[in-house]
Amino acid sequence: MMARIVGVGANVSDTLITLKRYPAEDTKLKSEGVRRSGGGPVGTGLVAAAKLGADCAYIGNLSDDADGAFLKDDFARFGVSTEYCETLSGYRSFTSCVWLSEERATRTVVFDRGTLPGTTLDERTKKAIADAAVLLVDGNDLDAAVEAAKIARENGTKVLYDAGGLYAGVERLLPLADYLIPSEEFALRCTGAKTAEDAAKILFENYSPAVVVVTQGKRGGILCDGKTVRAYPAFPVSAVDSNGAGDVFHGAFAFALTRGFDADRACLLASATSALKCKKTGARDGAPDYAAVKAFLKENGYEL
């Protein structure tokens, strides 16, 4: 089956360590639990979209180490195709260690990018991109992401750029985004603006996407379509794990595009999906299905 959403970017093996509070430096502290979870903006975004009901595929390299095997199995568990992946020997996977503070409902991440080489797009992967409805990129695996975005733009596939990290060279990717969705931190640093609203206007003027959406975590976010700048809501929940909430937002937004939603409804769906994810531990395990999101929105006075 043709994947409606394909992704090129980070796919990370996370070790989640739950703590009552963050420890002081050079001390010992008993954890409340340790578990492994798939992570990374594109990898988790694809899982979130798949759990909502989209056909998704990851394009990228996997290592044959234990973390690579886990990530391949994790995609299979959630219905994300790895038919466009190549498994390579002798490399180390992208991994991270995530501290989850119960006291503050925050997360702190230390990561290791591993040693996997960049992805080489072949004719099969190029066709998959050309045939998809949405290409999801995040600034990782940058050369392949830029090439994929150019192929997408030439073939009518919409490019959604999850701009969370201000990595070297991302200025090559910014003009190729149809849906430019940066974090507030990225937007402010990239533009030098003092407010998210001004940053959104600058990004729209400089790169001409269909829409700019600046995510602001617990405060919701703003949307700029060149005509107006307007807010979308956040949904307060009892959060236990905020790690990956932004990744889930982007995946849900991509799903919404495949359903023909306009940008305002896509933001609403994505915000609700992200909020529900925060109620559970694990970026991918916590992502809800479509029925749960619709019910949650209805409880909060919204109908899709």
Q: Are 82 and 128 in contact (CB under 8 A)?
A: no
Q: How many helices (H) and strands (E) does the chain have?
A: 9, 13
Q: How many CB atoms lie within 10 A of CB 261?
A: 17
**Whole-model pTM?**
0.95
Helix (H, G, I), strand (E, B) or coil at 206: helix
Structure tokens at 24: 């002081």
Mean pLDDT by 10 residues, the chain (304 residues): 88 95 94 94 98 98 97 98 97 95 89 97 97 97 98 98 90 97 96 97 97 96 96 92 92 97 97 96 93 97 89
Interacting residues of 290 by C-beta distance below 8 A, sequence separation 6+: 52, 53
What is the helix (H) or strand (E) element at residue 135, kind and residue range? strand 134-137
* Both structure tokens of 109: 């991440």
Query: Which domains are present in the chain?
Result: 5-20+33-118+129-299 (3.40.1190.20)
pLDDT at residue 1 in the model: 53
Give the pLDDT score at 300: 95
- Write down the pLDDT at residue 88: 98
Residues 6+ apart with CB under 8 A from 193: 187, 199, 202
